[in-house]
Chains A and B, each alone.
Chain A
Amino acid sequence: MKKRIDITAIPELGTSVGMHGSVKQKEVVGPMCLGIVVAIVIAF
């Protein structure tokens, strides 16, 4: 039988990196809002 480990018990990195385009807070008016818009447009 295969050994499986509960994924929630496996250590995570101290540096958490979210998915592309995700943000924690709203941006002050700057370059990111435009960058993400370009990326999203290209994705679709």
Chain B
Amino acid sequence: MIAGAALAAWLADPESQKRSYAAVEDCARRWSRKPLMTELERMLAALPDPTSAAVLDLARGFMDKSDEVAALMEELIAASAKDPFFRPPFHPMSSEVHNGLLLFHNPALSIALGVSGADMVAAKKTTARGASSINFSGVTTMFRYLKAGGATISFWEAPPITHSFLASQAGECRLTGRRRIEDGEEIVIDGRYQSFIIEHVLSDMLYFQAMVRPDAAPLAAEYDSKTLAFIGASSTDEASSRVQMMVSLLRTMEREDALPLIEESLESPHFYTRWHIMRELLAMDADAALPALRRMAANDAHPEVRAAAQQTLELFFEDEAPPLGKLKCRA
């Protein structure tokens, strides 16, 4: 925040504010039309088969245009120096260990340029309290380190995350290597089974990060950093999580008029979303849910969904109990 006399003067002067906003808009307009951005959009749209490898190659092409990215950064720095109220027209990104700008975003690919401060990493490591995790993000991420900061990174692997993922078979993650990385080095992490930890760093790290969404796993997995055991999972699909929350809200609001829409969302590719929605449907109108519940019990691709659906049929629908001949003798 820029406090004090400069801020007071800017707030009191509508013309200064207009100039600041105009500079931001002008910068955004010009850079959105530059080949650096438009060519990548065009090539992504033209991909006949947008696999993660194909999208990754396009991300490399963007990062190779270092002169154009440098020109962009020089312009942003110059504009910020000229007017302290100029804001780069790119989403700022920050976490405990890094700051950056989101340079490009498309449903298939996001590219950011960021800095991880050596002091930020050190502070996080020295002030860490309680249990911590090694995360497998479920998506492919590429890092190109323009300045590697003398960092040492450890590499980890876990059983691959698939659409039939079972927590009971997630096992443990394991260390596969540890080494120092060099300036200019590129690291590709397939988050479906790979992860890494920055063990220590000597100076600030400057890097491109590309997140590639095609072929993503349905979930991210978390392993305890001490025991290395699986401890939890979360969805990699933000839209799917929003659908789950909206369906729960509709059930709480007793919006039965939404039933047809809710039934449509049972076609989710994610097993956890399908079952979440089925539970909500059963709570709203069990008879209406019954045909889909039967189909789930018989055909769902995920074994836990099939088992939960069958158990639900037996618990709540008398006619759906297994035939007597199939019951086990308890004697």
Contact = CB atoms under 8 A, between A and B. Distances in A.
Contacts of A10: 279, 282-283, 312, 316
B234 A29 contact: no
Interface in B92-144: 92-98, 102, 105, 110, 112, 114, 121, 124-125, 128, 130-135, 137, 139, 141
Interface stretch (B29-37, B38-46, B72-80, B224-232): B224-232
Interface string A4-40: 1111011111111111111111111111111111110
Nearest to A3: B286
Contact of A27 (B110, B133, B308): B133
A28 B134 contact: yes
B245 interface: yes
A4 B283 contact: yes
> Main SS of the interface on chain A?
loop
Interface footprint category on A: 35 or more
A35 B94 contact: no
B282 to A, nearest CB: 5
A24 to B, nearest CB: 4
Interface stretch (B56-64, B161-169, B178-186): B161-169
Interface of A: 2-7, 9-39, 41-43
